[in-house]
Amino acid sequence: MPNKPAKKREKDFHFVGNFFSLWEKFFHSPEGAFKEHYISGFSFLLDKIAINLLVIVKENQKEVFMAEQNNSKQEDALIQLEVFKEYIRRKGLRYTPERETIIKEIFSLSGHFDVDGLYLRLRNKGKKLSKASIYRTIPLLIDCGLLQEVYHEDGHMHYEPASPHPHGHIRCLECRRVEEFDDERIKQIQKNVTEKYGYRITGIRFEILGYCPDCLKKVPV
């Protein structure tokens, strides 16, 4: 956990100092109104301490959660790399540093992406890769079950990491917002198709088009 800024630490020490100063005065004060005054002060300070502790706990929980998420992503990326390496070996293809860079970047993303966006991200990070390398790698990732097509828009496809839980997408034709939704029937369709036709399913594209509530408020369609 990062160290607190100096001003924040000074404020905390000042706060604790006030508490102990009040505690000392309480024990040396006579019974009566003054005693009640100090008790009231204690109550206020204890409330402040409780609030500060709650904030600290929540901050720690958030940092732990983020660290766990990052660790989980890194572990997933390592597993996916091994799956791809094995796939490449079986296909008799070369496993290149360029392909590894592309895969690591793809699985660090959250949500959907297209080739242009992925290419720009890599360029901004100083990676010297061509779009052709990305276009050649993506079909391999789809074929080995690590990536799936999501939807086609503006002349190019959008992708996402393959999920063991089939889901659909609903896309707004006005603002282009895309949302995911789960429905058990999608899983059942995949199961039925696999059993009936004997296909090895590498992905499902279940897409619903329409206009989102926000866009309907602005421009009724």
Q: What is the distance, to the nearest Å, from the Cα of residue 70 to the centroid of all Cα atoms in its chain?
A: 9
- pLDDT band with cut points at 50, 70 and 90 for residue 197: very high
Q: What is the distance, to the nearest Å, from the Cα of residue 5 to the centroid of all Cα atoms in its chain?
A: 27
Place of tokens 């290149």: 96
Q: Which residues pair with 178 in a beta bridge?
A: 171
- Which secondary-structure segment (H or E) carries 45? helix 33-91
Q: Taking the CB of residue 209, how many other CB atoms lie within 10 A of it?
A: 10
pLDDT of residue 29: 52
Q: How far apart are CA 150 and CA 111, in angstroms?
A: 10
Least trusted range by pLDDT, from 22-26, 47-51, 60-64, 146-150: 22-26
pLDDT of residue 65: 46
Mean pLDDT, rounded, for 200-204: 76
pLDDT of residue 1: 45
Do 158 and 194 meet the contact criterion of CB atoms below 8 Å apart? no
Joined together, the tokens standing for residue 117 give 């966006």
Residue 220 has pLDDT above 70, yes or no: no
Give the burial string for 39-53 (b: 16+ CB within 10 Å, else e).
Answer: eebeeebeeeeeeee
Mean pLDDT, rounded, for 52-81: 61
Joined together, the tokens standing for residue 216 give 């309907």
pLDDT of residue 76: 67
pTM, rounded to two decimals = 0.56
Least trusted range by pLDDT, from 77-81, 89-93, 114-118, 143-147: 77-81
- Annotated binding-site residues read 172, 175, 212, 215
pLDDT of residue 109: 84
- Annotated binding-site residues for Zn(2+) read 172, 175, 212, 215
Least trusted range by pLDDT, from 10-24, 70-84, 138-152: 10-24
